[in-house]
Structure 1
Amino acid sequence: MNINLFLWSLLITLPEMVFSQSADFTIHDVKFESQGVTLAGSILTPKKTLAAVVIVHGSDPVKREMEFAKRLAKEGIAVLTYDKRGVGESGGVYVGPSVGTNNIDTTNLNLLSQDASSAVNAFRKYLKDKKTPIGLVGFSQAGWIIPIAANRNPQIEFMVLFSCPTITTLEQLRFQFYTNEKNNFWENHTESDARKHTKDDPDRYQFVATDPKISLNTLSIPGLWLFGEKDIQIPVKLCMEQLNTLKALGKPFEYTLFSTLGHNTSSGNITAPVDISIQWIKQKAVNIQKSKVSK
């Protein structure tokens, strides 16, 4: 797409009226193009922007994450959050388990990573300060999407991943099928037992696995993972071990484990993981800015 036409299309999709949800930030509705479809979202701009993030969805048919975005914007973090492909005002087709389709095959994950990358490109053009550090924040399924997008787009300078896997897509399905989403799973099973089934169980679906570690091995941007120890969607201790292996290779990756939490580490009534992520983003933004000045 011609870049001048792209800029013009971005400008004309901004509504004439900017409405304020808070004394701390303003909201614009925006549209941008990705892989032949138009995606719709909102940009939240604080009075003073310290960093910027694009929010990447989990596997559900999710519209823009406004409540989560507001929590970030109140802390000086500009946010672009958009309706997932095929959901809300966004074009395209939603692919996922709620409509009986496999949403973690390589084709769909690559398509969603293109959407995240396109959102970053649109957001970068919108930001007044072109040196503002910009990153991705995502949930669950985003653990496969974000590394691919960050590997593809050098404008992505950091990443925050809530309850996101470092294992392959097939391994995650094996674990999830074994736990059978039973909330008391960890009261009745051992870590070694869960790992054995994650490694050896037969696959119910046949597709090429996506391994996020392939992309993570090529990245040098800082990353933060936030895990709940009682998670029954991903085996968090195995994921932490894999991150430790990457850290030993010099990767700037960190993680935090919350012993009382499960897979949902970012909901409105859970504050600690989000608070930690906000402070981490602010600190990394300072470091990134300093690095840009010194070059």
Structure 2
Amino acid sequence: MNNKLFSNLLIGLSLILLPKMIFCQSTNFTIQDVKFESQGINLTGSILKPKNPFAAVVIVHGSDPVKREMGFAKRLANEGIAVLTYDKRGVGESGGVYVGPSVGTNNIDTTNLNLLSKDANAAVNTFRTYLKEKKIPIGLIGFSQAGWIIPLTASKNPQIEFMVLFSCPTITTLEQLRFQFYTNGNNDFWGNHTDADAREHTKNDPDKYQFVATDPKISLNTLSIPGLWLFGEKDIQIPVKLCIEQLNTLKVQGKLFEYTLFSTLGHNTAFDSYTAPFDISIQWIKQKTLNIKNSRIQSTFSFKNKKAR
């Protein structure tokens, strides 16, 4: 009687655990929680590592008080990319103080943007120590406000070899604010305004706040790494066509920068149900990291040939 009861309990327990076991076995990556220090405070995040990643990225946040971007990180990991994503400073399990409009503070002044770039830099350095394949290309991928943070970080860390920027500005912080105040959150803005209108206000409106502007083009001008920007034409947070114009100027100067414009999308190019921006970013990362690896092989081959002579 007791044996039968015990047997039934085992069968029932197996049925309860089976779906979880199957899920774990079908997962294409491992997840490991990590802590690292930046500017005297501890940040907490997660590393998602596929079995044989072809690239690695650190996710850089937008302006909101967001925790680690696990949903987006899992999408990347399922494509074969190792990811470090962390709770933003002052959010979730990370220490420090969050700065932003939701708490009445300015999160795009130079002090805060430089601080957030130091956090991203510390994340890259930490991530490198966890990667078994030390030569795997590592890059930055981010959203919105990351358009100012990623160039700052990449200009100071030679380990960063590529960058992907979803709906990220190439204009100054003050210019972005002028445009945002002009659109005033109106989702129908582009139905009754022209690009010329937006450009005029972005360039000439009086500033409602006074602080030193950050111009991402200063950092972008120092970079020789490839970058991809993904824009939505209906964006009401950044003036996309002005940003594209500035990217074209940088491209003429020889910068390895590319962009794609999606006519039906707004600011949310990374998380929209329309997955083309994400899909394009994956193919772009595959191609660029392959180029990076081939370039290394060629450099090694040339070095050995010179040494043999």
TM-score, normalised relative to structure 2: 0.88
**What is the aligned partner in structure 2 of residue 247 from structure 1?**
251
Distance 1:61 1:136, change over 3 A: same
Q: Using the alignment, how far apart are the partners of 1:150 and 1:218 within structure 2?
A: 9
Q: Percent of counterpart pairs with the same letter?
A: 81
Question: Is residue 172 of structure 2 the alignment partner of residue 168 of structure 1?
Answer: yes
Gaps of 5+ in 1: 1-18
> 5 Å matches for 1:220-259?
220-259=224-263
> 5 Å matches for 1:1-295?
20=24, 22-267=26-271, 269-295=273-299
CA contact (8 A) 1:20 1:27 kept: no
Q: Using the alignment, how far apart are the partners of 1:79 and 1:110 within structure 2?
A: 22
Larger Rg: 2
1:175-212 per-position Cα deviation (integer Å, ceiling 9, x unaligned)? 00000010000001111111000000000110000000
Distance 1:170 1:43, change over 3 A: same
3-state secondary structure, aligned to 1:158: strand
Question: Match of 2:177, as an amino acid?
Answer: L
Gaps of 5+ in 2: 1-22, 300-309
3-state secondary structure, aligned to 1:27: strand
CA contact (8 A) 1:21 1:27 kept: no
Equivalent pairs, count: 277
Q: In the TM superposition, what is the alpha-carbon distance from 1:270 to its structure 2 partner?
A: 2.8
Question: Match of 2:154, as an amino acid?
Answer: A
Question: Match of 1:133, as an amino acid?
Answer: P
Q: In the TM superposition, what is the alpha-carbon distance from 1:20 to its structure 2 partner?
A: 4.8
Q: In the TM superposition, what is the alpha-carbon distance from 1:143 to its structure 2 partner?
A: 0.1
3-state secondary structure, aligned to 1:152: coil
Q: Using the alignment, how far apart are the partners of 2:215 and 2:62 within structure 1?
A: 17
TM-score, normalised relative to structure 1: 0.92
Q: In the TM superposition, what is the alpha-carbon distance from 1:21 to its structure 2 partner?
A: 8.4
Bigger share in helix? 2
Two-structure CA RMSD over aligned residues (Å): 1.1
Q: In the TM superposition, what is the alpha-carbon distance from 1:23 to its structure 2 partner?
A: 2.3
Distance 1:70 1:103, change over 3 A: same
**What is the aligned partner in structure 2 of residue 6 from structure 1?**
none
